[in-house]
Structure 1
């Protein structure tokens, strides 16, 4: 009997797996946590529920680059919640330890839903076919059967990723504005040194993982995704006004509207 990815993941979660540590390379400024704060943290963790956090069921480690700048590459730890068979969401960190810094978010949708998006929206999304088939996207700690089942689910999906803390360059605080990120689509794009260091630290073998996934079926990328390959690059810019989020009259004076603009 072939088990579903969800059943396999639940089985693995119950069994527990050990993986290598991947600490954050960013040190946030600030005073040491006081005893009072520690007590508040402990009390809150005991008394308050965290359903959205507890719904996270998978950890995927891969690599992103800035849309329009393939030299800006970084590792990204995805902690994934499966909302339904067509939609997943992930919070992204720069490590897998308690002090990991929250880098951004990724929304992941099925090929079926991606095909329904308007052309301009599709430009914001990237494909996952190469990430899965190349072995660069890994699920550390999962046995091969569970990894294979999970990647069969991910391979033909599409992701929209925004990074809010650019930890490759901002080593103290999250500076600047969010950046749209993309995924790699062919061999030779991803810096092999990044992969080698990741494999060493987490105790994984990208080449072996690639071979084990050779039978996973990756369908052709749907037109409109990975728009950077056609030179269609989208990034946010600092502008005055609400843009697409403006809802008529703002109620603020011109001077007030300028507050916070750089």
Structure 2
């Protein structure tokens, strides 16, 4: 992955097969709502029409590659939920222009490479070692 920014997902589980996430760009008083993501189970995803499925993305890669981390939850406790989320699919309401602005603010340069020293970004390589058995999707 050549582009990566830190985002904060505040997740509400509406039922076993459906979650809703408010996505913010920071975790402080300057944060902005930048996206709303809807997450469905693989069971619901399989019921969607093929054209609709194209608008959804698997969370398997995000979790296996340690792009999705839960910094306040010990890995051992969070593993079961992450394994479940790896089988789910998400769709977003954010447009490309918004992401371009956010990337610039978070140290993603014109070549789409991270040019910063954010601890969470740099820690993802270490976390990947802890998730060798997660499916990649």
Change beyond 3 A, Cα 1:211–1:117: same
Give per-residue Cα distances to partners, 1:38-64, cap 9 Å, x unaligned: xxxxxxxxxxxxxxxxxxxxxxxxxxx
1:197 aligns with 2:102: no
C-alpha distance in structure 1 between counterparts of 2:20 and 2:77, whole Å: 19
Moved over 6 A (4+): none
Q: TM-score, normalised by structure 2?
A: 0.78
Equivalent residue, structure 1, for 2:129: 211
C-alpha distance in structure 1 between counterparts of 2:55 and 2:67, whole Å: 21
Higher alpha-carbon Rg = 1
Change beyond 3 A, Cα 1:211–1:125: same
Equivalent residue, structure 1, for 2:98: 166
Q: CA deviation at 1:128?
A: 1.0
Whether the 8 Å contact between 2:35 and 2:93 is mirrored in structure 1 is yes
C-alpha distance in structure 1 between counterparts of 2:122 and 2:84, whole Å: 21
Whether the 8 Å contact between 2:39 and 2:89 is mirrored in structure 1 is yes
Q: Which has the higher contact order (CA 8 A, sep 6+)?
A: 2
Equivalent residue, structure 2, for 1:103: 34
Provide the secondary structure at the position in 2 that maps to 1:104.
strand
Gaps in structure 2 of 5+ consecutive residues:
103-111
Please give the root-mean-square deviation of Cα atoms over the aligned residues, in Å.
2.7
Provide the secondary structure at the position in 2 that maps to 1:96.
coil
Q: CA deviation at 1:144?
A: 1.4
Equivalent residue, structure 1, for 2:56: 125
Equivalent residue, structure 2, for 1:139: 70
